[in-house]
């Protein structure tokens, strides 16, 4: 089977996204054939024998960091793997934006993505959730809503909790105000996911988002791919959807002012294997585990070198907070901050949330360019 891509993940805590012992989720995909992966592992075993029949990445980080072994395999795999990374609390904030704001601006959301307002506001929410107890409680109630069998029944409690936050200009309070302006639109969106048991079951799980990102990444690089994945309940539940891409083509979707391809042409149906039976999956596990450790142990001196080796292998949908996107005083962020303030003021005065929001953005942008603000 040619054009094989092996997948595995680290930091998967199933339905408990906010597990205190696992703040980062990573997925790795490795581009090689099984015989090549086997040869790499044979060379590795010659130099660095390990117990058991299976390579486990978690055994090379922790109390003792085995830098020689890590460097050997990362060098062998150079330019042959891709990574996604997800800070779970930040991922939660993306869902808060998606389900508490997007439905009420559905006819006008192209400008929010074209201007990257979505990234700006999600970063605002993330800093609020990390720093403020009330905001964190708001996010946790939202999480419980999304994990329930009937999210619509909990929507009022979520919004009311957000509105009770004492700092009225905090991002989470602002989000609750925006959400409160059209509860019917939010209920309609939540009703749509209640009708799909798989979506409801795996809501707030980064596995599917990451997996599809990897498929799309390799689909842009290769005319056809074949996927081998470590056994996964999430992937199994959506397997029929993925297998529909066999002999298909990537689809172009509009995102703001640009089009991006999603999906890939699969040469065969997704193959799920036990990692002990696949050297390729073991290498994917190794890379995913090392990546997770390096980004959960940011202050560890050995993690700096490892992160530098990993850096160029991340694909676009890395789900991490960015400090520069948060700061409202940066010139590029001032028009976005003006949009947010305007939207909240519209709601407070009983106007449509999207009223003149595009005009506000471009006026603020011109003011920044002219040095007026």
Query: What is the pLDDT at residue 259?
Result: 53
Query: What is the pLDDT at residue 105?
Result: 92
pLDDT tens-place string over residues 151-163: 999 999 999 999 9
Give SS3 for 170. Answer: coil
Query: What is the pLDDT at residue 339?
Result: 94
Question: Can you tell me the distance from the alpha carbon of 284 to that of 56, in angstroms, rounded to the nearest whole number?
Answer: 10
pTM, rounded to two decimals: 0.86
- Tell whether the model's pLDDT for residue 321 goes beyond 90: no
Question: Can you tell me the distance from the alpha carbon of 102 to that of 108, in angstroms, rounded to the nearest whole number?
Answer: 9
CA 156 distance to own-chain centroid: 26
pLDDT tens-place string over residues 103-141: 999 888 788 888 999 999 999 999 999 999 999 999 999
Question: Can you tell me the distance from the alpha carbon of 94 to that of 99, in angstroms, rounded to the nearest whole number?
Answer: 9
pLDDT tens-place string over residues 169-211: 999 999 999 999 999 999 999 998 888 776 777 777 888 889 9
Query: What is the pLDDT at residue 1?
Result: 63
């Amino acid at each position: 089977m040619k054009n094989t891509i092996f997948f595995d993940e680290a930091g998967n805590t199933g339905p408990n996204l906010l597990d205190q012992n696992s703040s980062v989720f990573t997925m790795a995909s490795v581009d090689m054939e099984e015989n090549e992966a086997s040869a790499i592992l044979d060379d590795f075993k010659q130099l660095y024998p390990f117990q058991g029949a299976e390579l486990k990445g978690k055994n090379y980080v922790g109390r003792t960091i085995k830098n020689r072994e890590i460097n050997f395999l990362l060098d062998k795999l150079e330019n042959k793997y891709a990574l996604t990374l997800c800070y779970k609390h930040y991922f939660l904030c993306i869902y808060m934006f998606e389900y508490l704001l997007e439905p009420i601006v559905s006819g006008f959301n192209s400008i929010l993505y074209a201007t990257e307002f979505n990234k700006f506001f999600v970063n605002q929410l993330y800093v609020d959730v990390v720093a403020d107890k009330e905001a964190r409680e708001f996010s946790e109630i939202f999480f419980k809503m999304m994990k329930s069998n009937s999210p619509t029944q909990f929507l009022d409690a979520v919004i009311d909790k957000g509105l009770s936050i004492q700092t009225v200009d905090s991002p989470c309070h602002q989000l609750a105000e925006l959400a409160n302006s059209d509860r019917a639109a939010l209920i309609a969106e939540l009703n749509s996911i209640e009708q799909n048991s798989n979506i409801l079951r795996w809501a707030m799980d980064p596995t599917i988002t990451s997996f599809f990102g990897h498929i799309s990444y390799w689909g842009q690089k290769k005319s056809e791919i074949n996927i081998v994945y470590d056994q996964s309940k999430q992937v199994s539940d959506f397997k029929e959807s993925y297998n529909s891409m066999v002999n298909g083509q990537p689809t172009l979707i509009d995102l703001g002012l640009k089009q991006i391809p999603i999906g890939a042409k699969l040469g065969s149906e997704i193959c799920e294997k036990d990692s002990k039976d696949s050297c390729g999956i073991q290498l994917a596990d190794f890379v995913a585990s090392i990546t997770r450790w390096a980004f959960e142990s940011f202050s560890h001196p050995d993690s700096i070198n490892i992160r530098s080796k990993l850096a160029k292998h991340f694909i676009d949908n890395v789900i991490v907070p960015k400090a520069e996107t948060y700061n409202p005083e940066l010139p590029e962020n001032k028009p976005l901050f003006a949009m947010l303030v305007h939207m909240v003021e519209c709601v407070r005065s009983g106007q449509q949330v999207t009223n003149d929001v595009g005009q506000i953005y471009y006026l603020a942008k011109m003011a920044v360019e002219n040095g007026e603000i």
